[in-house]
Structure 1
């Protein structure tokens, strides 16, 4: 999942970015409101974390302009303790949740996970695809109750497809949401990840959890449906 982190405090921004990267997120950063506005309008993200006290353009105005341009990704705002007016203004501008500084990283991670799940229409952190269970909190995958050992890239690929079950995801979209903008976008590399992922999730070849939609991309069928790939 790709997150846009908007924070003008360089030390905090680096700390948050490092922690989120360590939890398997792809993080891109903005240090002021104008840069944040541009990135949010021009590139796809799954979620944004926005500090309200930004230079050049306030966080609230950034959110307003994103929403006015039909940018729909979830937004978590960061506010200073006691500034309840900012919380209200941020939510009224279109943010989905807020977190008060200082905060624990575990709470931030839990709120991000909940926002991403809700945006994808999942109330539970566990997504079941036949005998395969993906736990978005523990970031683990089990097949018939046994742990499937996945690399970070493999897990992120499967998680994105599972959260978007029922949709055909193009290779371009998958790459944009999983990797940084400067990532080598060789479709052959993505095909290797998906092929390796299939081999781990479906070693016997009888589940077909990831369908190839020829010429369009990849798809995980919603529970109760099946496809051919």
Structure 2
């Protein structure tokens, strides 16, 4: 799958690109409307994410030009405008959906999945590690085929770890995914959340599924770690 992210806020753009790269094969980025349009001339994208207000060309102008040129992929608009007339203008310009800033990354990912499903794209819906199973669409988590009750943030933590199984995630990346890019929570809040999740998925085992990487963040142990543990 190919996704283009056009956003002039560098920090927000980097966060969106990082998270999408963990789910999809290819993500390109642009810092203004003209660069976004140029990208679409050389590559075919399944989804284009456009910030409404960008230098050179606005998201609305890029959207209109793409549709006029016959682009049939999905278009998601990022906007700080929540006025009904503005939203209608964005949809009338050819956007398939919109999301109002500030937003949480979980909401963005949900919109992306929905748009790509409409295009009949295949997304991994069930992720299994050892005896743990996470169902992305239905937001259900199973331990030995038994449903485990999770709060919204507990599920988001596991979802992000599962999507990046075996990879080290920094505290900042995890916090952005759970609480949004403008999050205002302490490290203690994340540690407390991890502790609660461990109690629900570790079942008293000596080695937790969620590994603490000192000074960096956390990672989910992969299948090989559990196979080695069972042999020892």
Q: TM-score range by the shorter chain?
A: 0.5 to 0.7
SS of equivalent residue, structure 2 residue 54:
coil
SS of equivalent residue, structure 2 residue 8:
coil
CA contact (8 A) 1:113 1:136 kept: no
Relative to 1, partners in 2 of residues 1:46 and 1:55: Cα closer, same or farther, differing over 3 Å? same
In structure 1, list runs of 5 or more residues that go unmatched: 128-134, 139-144, 146-150, 153-229
Residue 81 of structure 1: CA displacement? 4.5
Instruction: State the distance in 2 between where 1:83 and 1:36 align.
Output: 25
Q: TM-score, normalised by structure 1?
A: 0.52
In structure 2, list runs of 5 or more residues that go unmatched: 127-134, 139-144, 146-162, 165-232
Residue 21 of structure 1: CA displacement? 1.3
CA distances 1:128-148 after superposition (whole Å, capped 9, x unpaired): xxxxxxx7748xxxxxx9xxx
Instruction: State the distance in 2 between where 1:23 and 1:109 align.
Output: 9
Q: Tell me how many residue pairs correspond in the alignment.
A: 133
- 1:76 corresponds in structure 2 to 76
Q: TM-score, normalised by structure 2?
A: 0.51
Q: Where in structure 2 are the equivalents of 1:48-127 lying within 5 Å?
A: 48-120=48-120
SS of equivalent residue, structure 1 residue 63:
helix
Residue 88 of structure 1: CA displacement? 1.4
CA contact (8 A) 1:125 1:137 kept: no
Residue 86 of structure 1: CA displacement? 2.7
- 2:22 corresponds in structure 1 to 22
Greater Rg by CA:
2
Instruction: State the distance in 2 between where 1:39 and 1:51 align.
Output: 15
CA distances 1:83-123 after superposition (whole Å, capped 9, x unpaired): 4333211110100000011111111111111111112289x
CA contact (8 A) 1:5 1:17 kept: yes
- 1:36 corresponds in structure 2 to 36
CA contact (8 A) 1:41 1:66 kept: no
Relative to 1, partners in 2 of residues 1:10 and 1:99: Cα closer, same or farther, differing over 3 Å? same
CA contact (8 A) 1:41 1:71 kept: no
Q: Where in structure 2 are the equivalents of 1:1-229 lying within 5 Å?
A: 1-120=1-120, 137=137
CA contact (8 A) 2:76 2:99 kept: yes
Instruction: State the distance in 2 between where 1:136 and 1:119 align.
Output: 18
